[in-house]
Chains A and B, each alone.
Chain A
Amino acid sequence: MIVAEQKPVEEIIRYLDKFNKIAVAACGTCVTVCMAGGEKEALTLASALRIKRLEQERPLEVKVVTPKRQCDIEFLDDIAHEIGDCEAILSLGCGAGVQFMAEKFKEKPVLPGLNTKFMGVTRDVGIWTEMCQGCGDCILEKTGGVCPVTRCSKSNFNGPCGGSSNGKCEINPGIDCGWQLIYDRLKALGMLENLYEIMPPKDWRSSRDGGPRKVEKKEVVL
């Protein structure tokens, strides 16, 4: 899923300053799961915003809408009538959701309520960790299902670097060294010979370095 985190209320209230009536748009998918921008978080944020503005004696009217996803146009069509006369939309979608809402509701400012972090998993209750950077050319078959691009701080393909220590990354003892994980996994699988291969420089064109990307599935393109 895409993992995000809510922005501080103080920051949000600042850029909502000139509006008196807004819609907070939750998103029913990834950010609901990571407890950043689901309906529950949207309702809580809406109350917080109302209270802040009441304190300033400039009440803010806040309506909450929850499309199933903000990244598919059909779900945005569903909420169009609810947006109605709101002056602005605060999107609690990921960065993609915010942008898609802005494309759909052209006449209104659409503002981000979250900081979009990464593609990851729920590691524990309330803890999410990064797993994939969408490099566009997956090599997990070589590395025992552990991603060197994402989980090594230096994206080493022939790791580890000299800073790996007690299984932790040199940049922070709270981060597992990706190459220790790769080694442990390949060893358990009896596939250590994979590590003798000198992996060639990656073709980063498949990644963000090739410019904004597009996926086309020919058979379904209308």
Chain B
Amino acid sequence: MSQELRKDNIDKNETGSVEAKTGTKAASHLQKVLEAGHFSVTAEIGPPMSANADFVRNKARELLGLVDAANITDNQTAVVRMSSIAAAYLVQQEGLEAVVQMTCRDRNRIAIQSDLLGAYALGLKNVLCLSGDHQSFGNHPESKNVYDIDSIQLINALRGMKEEKVFINGKSIKTPPEFFIGATANPFADPEELQFIRFVKKIRAGARFIQTQAIYDVERFARWMEKVRKEGLHEKAFILAGILVNKSLKSIEMTKMVAGMAVPDIFIERMARAASQEEEGVKIALELIDEIRKIEGVKGIHIMAVGWESIVPVIIERAGFLPRPAV
């Protein structure tokens, strides 16, 4: 993308960035973008498996002005990485707003609440609540798991902090954190009915934005959205559709194997036939974005490009998401 365009976006983002740094009480930038009716664009930053702050800062700079916020993963796939809160703080120091991911795997209710008080005090305003991948997937499979509370209980706890100004134990908090609370939903996992009940519960518990599992099967997603609209859920929480960008045939084949992923064979075939798999991967992502953004009730796109983060700016520019709104 052109330098001017990037700079233009950075300038427009100025207000957001000052706020991100100082941690004022106002709503998060992401929340404002969504509430103003803009179609949001978010991406992900995976913290390093080290104490390297510059790694995080560089990633933040690469996305600055291109996305409304970046999700900072919490020891994803149970591999030890820099803390999501610490990394999110570094990201916001660069002027880019962060969404802190918080899993229930590693902390009991004392640690989760304490960490989130700290996160809010540091100016972090968005939290995405997750169960977390089981530790058996990661690089410390010997560890004890926690799961003192589950992700819905975490969402409910954050809502309680914000709305009722109380901790999980019901005791009052003088200066409560007022996070923009997020959760995930998987329109493709089975049993569908149970997954939908759980999605409804997440919104009832207090989730205000929902990031979906990566979408490939647009038809099936559209049917799910129809159900969402029928229940009026798209008016209770902002639905942000997940898009995964695949770099190669191998990558899309591996994606297909992940539990709860629905990848139609046509995409595998296209990747297999493509002269340039990278270009085909980008094309597929752009086509999906194009179709998904037309679906009523979808309020934003969340781009995941695990292991291929450098492609995110290209996708955003080619999808016509620039400039990002200043709110």
Given A183-B191, A201-B109, are A158 and B148 also a contact pair (CB < 8 Å)?
no
A residues less than 8 Å from B194 (CB atoms): 160, 179-180, 183, 195
Instruction: Give bound CA distance, A155 to B190, whole Å.
Output: 19
A residues less than 8 Å from B190 (CB atoms): 164-167
Q: A163 interface residue, CB < 8 Å from B?
A: yes
Q: A8 interface residue, CB < 8 Å from B?
A: no
CB closest chain-B residue, reference A196: B197
CB-CB contacts below 8 Å: A167-194 with B: 167, 170-172, 179-180, 183, 187, 192
A residues less than 8 Å from B12 (CB atoms): none
CB-CB contacts below 8 Å: B129-147 with A: 131-134, 136-137, 145, 147
CB closest chain-B residue, reference A200: B153
Min CB distance, A202 to chain B, in Å?
8
Instruction: Give bound CA distance, A160 to B151, whole Å.
Output: 10
A155, A156, A158, A195 interface centre (most CB from chain B within 10 Å): A158
Q: A150 interface residue, CB < 8 Å from B?
A: no
Given A162-B186, A165-B260, are A198 and B156 also a contact pair (CB < 8 Å)?
yes
B189 is contacted by which of A162, A195, A201 (Cβ under 8 Å)?
A162
Given A171-B134, A198-B205, are A180 and B259 also a contact pair (CB < 8 Å)?
no
Min CB distance, B132 to chain A, in Å?
8
Instruction: Give bound CA distance, A198 to B154, whole Å.
Output: 11
Q: Is the CB of A156 within 8 A of B150?
A: yes
Min CB distance, A168 to chain B, in Å?
8
For chain B, the count of residues having a C-beta within 8 Å of the partner chain is 37
For chain A, the count of residues having a C-beta within 8 Å of the partner chain is 30
Given A157-B150, A180-B191, are A165 and B198 also a contact pair (CB < 8 Å)?
no
A residues less than 8 Å from B246 (CB atoms): none
Q: A120 interface residue, CB < 8 Å from B?
A: no
Q: B121 interface residue, CB < 8 Å from A?
A: no
Min CB distance, B274 to chain A, in Å?
28
Q: B168 interface residue, CB < 8 Å from A?
A: yes
A residues less than 8 Å from B213 (CB atoms): 162
Instruction: Give bound CA distance, A21 to B150, whole Å.
Output: 52
B residues less than 8 Å from A155 (CB atoms): 147, 150
CB-CB contacts below 8 Å: B158-216 with A: 168, 184, 186, 189-191, 193-195, 197-198, 200-201, 204-205, 213
Given A198-B156, A201-B148, are A170 and B259 also a contact pair (CB < 8 Å)?
yes
B184, B191, B195, B200 interface centre (most CB from chain A within 10 Å): B191
Q: A28 interface residue, CB < 8 Å from B?
A: no
Min CB distance, B110 to chain A, in Å?
12
B residues less than 8 Å from A159 (CB atoms): 150, 198
- Could you list 5 examples of A-B contacts with CB < 8 Å? A154-B147, A160-B189, A162-B189, A164-B189, A183-B191
- Which residues of A are at the interface with B, using a C-beta cutoff of 8 A? 153-167, 170-172, 179-180, 183, 187, 192, 195-196, 198-201, 204
- Which residues of B are at the interface with A, using a C-beta cutoff of 8 A? 104-105, 109, 131-134, 136-137, 145, 147-153, 156-157, 168, 184, 186, 189-191, 193-195, 197-198, 200-201, 204-205, 213, 259-260
